[in-house]
Each structure stands twice: as C-alpha cells, then as structure tokens.
Chain A
C-alpha cells in the first residue's frame, strides 16, 4: 500500500506563525481528494499540536503519514515532557505561561481537542527528554 510521508518543522517561540504546518498539510490532503471531514479533523489536531509544541517545547517536528486507511500525525518535540498526562488531558488544565495566555492561548483545550477530533491518540512522554503525541484519523472506506 502506498504511504506518503510529510515532514514539517515547527519553529519554536513564534505563536503567530503556528498553524503553518497544518495549512500546508491541508493543501496536500485536499489534493488527495480526502473527505472534507477527515481533512478538517486532521488539521485541527495538527494545529493544536503545533500550538502545544510552540508554547511548551520551543518547537519540534510534525510527521504525517497518509495511506488509504488512515492519517497518522506525530508531533515530536524534545521539550520538558508532561509530568502528569492524566491531568494534562483534563479540559481547562494548562501550564502555559502568561505570555501565551495573553495571546489567547493556553485555554487547556489542546490535548482534549486532539483526542476529540482523532480516532486514536497516544502520548509518549519522558520528563526532561520530550514528548511525542500521535493521533490517528481513520479514512472511511
């Protein structure tokens, strides 16, 4: 089965530019003719992941794999890690600093949204080493 791989670097420290990777991915997904709803969910997940990486981890990398069954998005960073994943998954819980909050981010909806809009989500995190959030979006056959 054909699998295409897309890699997007996510620059740290620039909340204004966050979202670029998801825009670029969306353009490719549209060209593949995927269902609108799948594209929408994938780009929401990617966008939330980008914001998280910018706020908490000084950037990272987004890797996307698409085959005819699913879209797999890996948001990989080498940031501080998440000490308590269960807590981080609660809506409204955020450790974002005041700068991010002043810009309207850090509402504590990032990870919950990624969970809501994906079919599967896993978080691999090691405190002090980094975090990889993987989401899977199934393509209806």
Chain B
C-alpha cells in the first residue's frame, strides 16, 4: 500500500533554503526547483523537518474537526500528552468534560489503554522470558518505520502489542456500540495526538491490517478549541480513569517504569534512537531487557503537535499524577479475546535504502557512487539540494540528479575552460589557495 504521509509541504512558504535536508534522519528530503520535496519511501514521519524549517513551510496536518459530522456518535481518544499542555490544570476531568463540549459524545482515554497494555506486558513477563532480548517497544510509529527501514535484523525484537491509541479505538467502538445500539460504522473514533506519525498511523496502521481509527486530530488544533469550554464548565463530571502508569506514557520512560521488574533503557530523540538501535544491532547491550524508544525529545510530550515545550509538559503531567492510583486498569480479557492487543500483521522490511535488488547491480552502483564521491568537495553545502556529498553521489547514480547539479563541479569545469590552473576565482572561498582581498574585507 502506498504510504500516506501526514508531513506535507506548503510550497508558497518554502524558499528552498535547504535547512531541512540536513536535519532529516533518513535523508528523505531534496530541494528541487526552489522547493523541498520529500521522498515518500524514506519518510518516517518523525517531524524533524517541521521543527527545523525557518519558514514554517513544512507542516503536518491532522484531520479537520468537521469530519465529526459524518458520524452519528463520536468518541475522543485523548493521548495523555494532551494533559500537559495547559497552565495550572489540576484536574484531568476538566479537559475530558470540555471535549464533550466541542463535538464529541464520549471520551476514552488512551492512558487507560496504555495501562491495559502495560498490564498485558507484565503478564507476559511473568509467563517467561521472550524469544529474543532486548524487547523493543512498539509504541512509537516513527521508530517502527525506522526499524523496518534501517534495522530489519531487529524486527523480531519489536514487542507484539499495537499502539495504545489503537487498543483504545477498538475498545471505545465496542463500548459505544453497546451503549448506543448504532452500527459500528456510524460511530466515529478519533485520537487526539501529539505527532505527525500518529496521524499517519491512524490512516495506515503499522501493526493492523485494517485501520481501527476514523481519524486523528492534532493536539495543537484541539488545544485552542478546548480553552474556552474548560473555563466555563458548569459541572465537572468525574470521568478520568488513568492512573500514574497510564499518564507516564506521555513521556519517555513511562512505558518502561510500568514494566516494573525489568532492566529498561528509555531513549528519546531520533538521533539517539538511531545510535541505540545500532548498538543493539551489534549486540552491545546484552544486559537490557527492554528498550523504550521515542523519536521525539522527552517522548510524546515533545511531539511536533504539542503546544507546550516538552519539559514543561512533562512537569505538569507529573503534578497531575499526584494523588492518583498507580494503575486503574488491568488487562482482563481471556482466551481468543486476548489477541486484540496484538498485531495482526507482520512488520515487514522496507528496503528504502537498498541501491538495487540485484547484488551485482548494487555493487556496480556503489562503485560509481564511491568514484563520484571521491571527486566531490565534501563540504556538504546543500547547493545541489541533497543533504551531503554522499547523498548527492547516490542521487546521481540512482538518476535523481546530474553531476552538473554540483556547483563545485561546474566551477571546476569553468576553471579548466579558462585554461588557468591557478585561477582561484572560479573556486568558492573554502577552496581558494589564497585568501583574496575581497573575501577578507
């Protein structure tokens, strides 16, 4: 199935400045015709480019709230990171009650599903060690795509559970059907999410054959709509069913601490995650039982849809934990029903970086890439639109660019046409043998 990314470019705002190309952890962006373009096979929806873009030209779009009108009955699934966005919030119920004022009929907290998943995982831990260690958390869709693309050897390490928002969606729809008697398709189930990758995951699930959500709204879009109803609630109905563990899932380390007895490593930030996956791939962390990996700084509170900075949001969620029970939800389903928490499809390797399916052809391409790269300046200036000289060499060999797209190669040719070996004028400043009067001024 074609990937449907939620990261998109606003081409009116993009000036082709190349800021984004270097920040992309999978080298998925090229600048062409003064505009950034995303190579869809390589994008993992991490949102780095959204954070980096100085012109706010790269965005991620959640669904629009007006799709609620297409359903008879709508359930909101707020991710716990939402609770960390509000100043002086001392009661989660205020947020949940306010959600009922903006078009939702019911709320099912993702933190509740997260606690159920944690309980399920604890039951699995008690029933014996897993086939492979360390187990890797399956809760960040960006990390899942990254592993599928760059670390296929680690796929068997990925935990079998679906995303908390997916479990929440399945359970919320069941409850809504039971309560309203409506057919399941007339019930709309929508997550309120902190990041672009969860918007994508709501459309195309990593672990489920059929998506279980009807859409996902960005926290940022819901935030402003909630402020006014939160101030004007006449009555606050007690609704929350999340404990400390469920709320903890909002930031990196929360999922780990809910596993209790294991030796867990919690890593946040996409470049740290990549480094850790490389170490695990080499078997250099044999003592770890579980790896919690979040692509965003500090975990979900650092998502690109968050309003508040991740550190402040984390602090607020911590203070909301005060006085709450450790966990309020258990995973009590039995028999075949237990399967709903597990993926129903395998995580497949996505060979987005492989030069050619045929080894002989791949070797030939690699040879040409190395040859070309040895003649490139190694400045990684980005003028060609690629993030590095190596990426540019790859682009040329794979037919995505031509050698003359390198401004240094062009100048080199001009210099040889001028016939002057020492004609420094054709070289950009970093390569001039002598510093010119002009450049010193």
Chain A residues at the B interface, C-beta cutoff of 8 Å = 1-6, 19, 22-23, 26, 28, 30-34, 36, 39-40, 43-44, 47, 66-68, 139
Contacts and interface: CB of A to CB of B under 8 A. Distances in A.
Contacts of B363: 2-4, 32, 66-68
A6 B370 CA distance: 9
Interface residues of B, number: 22
Nearest to A19: B282
Nearest to A30: B353
B14 interface: no
B181 interface: no
Interface in B331-360: 351, 353-357, 359-360
12 contacts: A1-B360, A3-B363, A5-B370, A19-B282, A23-B278, A32-B363, A33-B355, A36-B152, A43-B282, A66-B363, A68-B359, A68-B360
A118 to B, nearest CB: 16
A2 B364 CA distance: 6
Contacts of B366: 4, 28, 31-32, 66
Interface in B362-378: 362-364, 366-367, 370
A44 B281 CA distance: 10
A81 to B, nearest CB: 28
A67 B152 CA distance: 22
Nearest to B349: A36
Given A2-B364, A30-B150, A33-B357, 8 more contacts: A3-B367, A23-B278, A31-B355, A33-B354, A36-B153, A44-B283, A47-B282, A66-B363
Given A68-B359, A139-B359, A32 B354 contact: yes
Contact of B360 (A2, A19, A28): A2
A44 B284 CA distance: 10
Interface in B262-310: 278, 281-284
A30 B354 contact: yes
B153 A31 contact: no
Nearest to B359: A68
Contacts of B284: 19
A31 B353 contact: yes
A1 B281 CA distance: 30
Contacts of A39: 153
A26 B360 CA distance: 18
A4 B370 contact: yes
Interface of B: 150, 152-153, 278, 281-284, 351, 353-357, 359-360, 362-364, 366-367, 370
Contacts of B353: 30-31
Contacts of A26: 278, 281
Contacts of B278: 23, 26
Nearest to B279: A19
A3 B363 CA distance: 7
Contacts of B367: 2-4
A39 B153 CA distance: 10
Nearest to B371: A4
Contacts of B152: 36
Contacts of A6: 370
Contact of B355 (A23, A32, A36, A67): A32
A31 B360 contact: no
A32 B282 contact: no
Contacts of B153: 36, 39-40
A40 to B, nearest CB: 6
A22 B153 CA distance: 16
A39 B351 CA distance: 15
Identify which of B153, B363, B364 gathers the most chain A CB atoms within 10 Å of its CB: B363
B370 A33 contact: no
Nearest to A47: B282
B359 to A, nearest CB: 5
A47 B283 CA distance: 11
B369 to A, nearest CB: 9
A32 B362 contact: yes
Given A2-B367, A4-B367, A39-B153, A33 B282 contact: no
Contacts of A1: 360
A32 B359 contact: yes
Contacts of B364: 2
A68 B366 CA distance: 12
Contacts of B359: 32-34, 68, 139
Would you list the 10 A-B pairs with minimal beta carbon distance, nearest first?
A: A33-B354, A2-B363, A36-B153, A32-B362, A68-B359, A2-B364, A4-B366, A4-B367, A31-B355, A68-B360
Identify which of B282, B283, B357 gathers the most chain A CB atoms within 10 Å of its CB: B282
Contacts of A43: 281-282
A97 to B, nearest CB: 22
Contacts of A67: 363
Identify which of A3, A30, A39, A139 gathers the most chain B CB atoms within 10 Å of its CB: A30
A97 B284 CA distance: 21
Nearest to B361: A2
